Amino acid sequence: MSSVDHFWAVIPAGGAGTRLWPLSRAGAPKFLHDLTGSGRSLLQATVDRLGPLVDDRTVVVTGTAHLPAVARQLPGVAEEYLLAEPTPRDSMAAIGLAAALLERKDPDAVMGSFAADHVIPDGDAFATCVRNAITAAEAGWLVTLGIEPTYAATGFGYIHVGDAMADLPAFHVKEFVEKPSAPVAAQYVASGDYRWNAGMFVVRPTVLLDLLAENDPGFAADLRAIAAGGAEAMARLWPTLPKIALDHAVAEPAASAGRIAVVPGAFDWEDVGDFASLGDLLDPDASGALTVLGDAGLVQSRSSSGLVVTATGRFVAVLGLDDIIIVDTPDALLVAARDHAQDVKAIVNGLKDEGRTDLV
């Protein structure tokens, strides 16, 4: 399959991944880490996955603090396509900035926005889905990808899928719904009418910005002014942009107005939120063995299961512990029961309160 002319990948690379501390840090967030043992960080794997569709048309939007690391991880991405957010202003500003720049650079552009920290093992199924989304986006739709649920997840939002379109490989979106309760999630999955919302969008830049302008004309105008005005405009306007997610600023209003399409995808997709889900990702068959992310030769265990992440050269011995999580980094060690994986956030917050910025 060849690449798609004028299709651009936009990769917002943000988010701290607090629940993956001490591997993920404010200074080295989740997307910079190889969480799959593939030898590539989540960001690199995202760029790799999109490569066949875009050739070298990849734009990354990240915090200024992470720009050097991103530049080193992605030597194939031109410097002009590595965009720095001076301060975090949520996804509408980040993706809107890329849209405003692409609108000027390539009038025929279609952009696809894909988070830097998702795991999608089946690149071909993903590409097929994106190609369908591009077809719908070229026809003027704001298109979201809807992932087929494999269980009644309560940690994701859902997309309520409507009728199929007559002439496009897509469906109408009835509405976006927030993270549901467990019984509601079960109903969603049983109905077959709901898809997971993975926050992936394909759209012409002008369509995106015009949809934004309908709800917040000043926001869209400022993004276009930054794209036209360069560093001076960025310094002046960026700090004034609203902090709002693209879902709220554009997608939900567009759904209410019947102006958004969804392309179903049946590929595995993981938003690796904490070490419990990372353990599942790395040991999908729940083999009962101890999984190692890093150099497995460093780890010896007896009568144990769970996950060991080795980010140092230290030897690790594990004895008689089931569902254990051990994360070994040079300056901090986490040892947790799997069912306490969420408590990592409390440790990080405690460290922040104590001013231990060196550790968070």
Interacting residues with a copy of itself between 244 and 263 (CB under 8 A)? none
State which residue, 281 or 324, has the beta carbon closest to a copy of itself.
Answer: 324
* Residue ranges of E strands in 165-272: 171-177, 194-203, 260-265, 270-271
Q: Which stretch binds a copy of itself (CB under 8 A): 121-129, 182-190, 209-217, 298-306?
A: 298-306
Instruction: Characterize the bridge pairing of strands 110-113 and 118-119.
Output: unpaired
Whether 212 and 220 have beta carbons less than 8 Å apart is answered as: yes
Give the integer Cα–Cα distance in Å for 192 and 162: 11
Among 76, 218, 356, 357, binds a copy of itself (CB under 8 A): 356
Amino acid present at 221: A
Q: Does 28 bind a copy of itself (CB under 8 A)?
A: no
Q: Which stretch binds a copy of itself (CB under 8 A): 36-44, 129-137, 148-156, 307-315?
A: 307-315
Which residues 6+ apart lie within 8 Å of 114 measured at CB? 9, 10, 11, 46, 49, 50, 200
Only one residue has tokens 């306007």, namely 237
Whether 129 and 209 have beta carbons less than 8 Å apart is answered as: no
Tokens coding 151: 């269980």
Instruction: Characterize the bridge pairing of strands 270-271 and 118-119.
Output: antiparallel
Interacting residues with a copy of itself between 315 and 334 (CB under 8 A)? 315-321, 324, 326, 328, 330-334
Amino acid present at 246: L
CB of 19 to a copy of itself, least distance (A): 11
Q: Does 93 bind a copy of itself (CB under 8 A)?
A: no
Nearest to 318 by CA among 332, 337, 336, 305: 305
Q: Does 22 bind a copy of itself (CB under 8 A)?
A: yes
> Binding pattern to a copy of itself, positions 333-352, x when CB under 8 A?
xxxxx-xxx-xx-xx--xx-
CB of 329 to a copy of itself, least distance (A): 8
Give the integer Cα–Cα distance in Å for 180 and 171: 22
Whether 31 and 78 have beta carbons less than 8 Å apart is answered as: no
Give the integer Cα–Cα distance in Å for 341 and 82: 33
State which residue, 208 or 348, has the beta carbon closest to a copy of itself.
Answer: 348
CB of 117 to a copy of itself, least distance (A): 22
CB of 144 to a copy of itself, least distance (A): 36
φ/ψ of residue 285, rounded to 5? -90, 5
Give the integer Cα–Cα distance in Å for 204 and 190: 34
Interacting residues with a copy of itself between 176 and 195 (CB under 8 A)? none
Question: How many residues sit in the footprint of a copy of itself (CB under 8 A)?
Answer: 35
CB of 318 to a copy of itself, least distance (A): 5
State which residue, 119 or 347, has the beta carbon closest to a copy of itself.
Answer: 347
CB of 305 to a copy of itself, least distance (A): 12
CB of 279 to a copy of itself, least distance (A): 14
Q: Does 296 bind a copy of itself (CB under 8 A)?
A: no
Beta bridge partners of 161: 173
Q: Does 309 bind a copy of itself (CB under 8 A)?
A: no
Whether 53 and 131 have beta carbons less than 8 Å apart is answered as: yes
Q: Does 359 bind a copy of itself (CB under 8 A)?
A: yes
State which residue, 124 or 343, has the beta carbon closest to a copy of itself.
Answer: 343
Nearest to 88 by CA among 62, 60, 68, 67: 62
CB of 310 to a copy of itself, least distance (A): 9
Q: Does 311 bind a copy of itself (CB under 8 A)?
A: no
- Residue 42 DSSP class: H
CB of 259 to a copy of itself, least distance (A): 45
Give the residues lining the site for a copy of itself (CB under 8 A): 22, 300, 302-303, 313-321, 324, 326, 328, 330-337, 339-341, 343-344, 346-347, 350-351, 356, 359
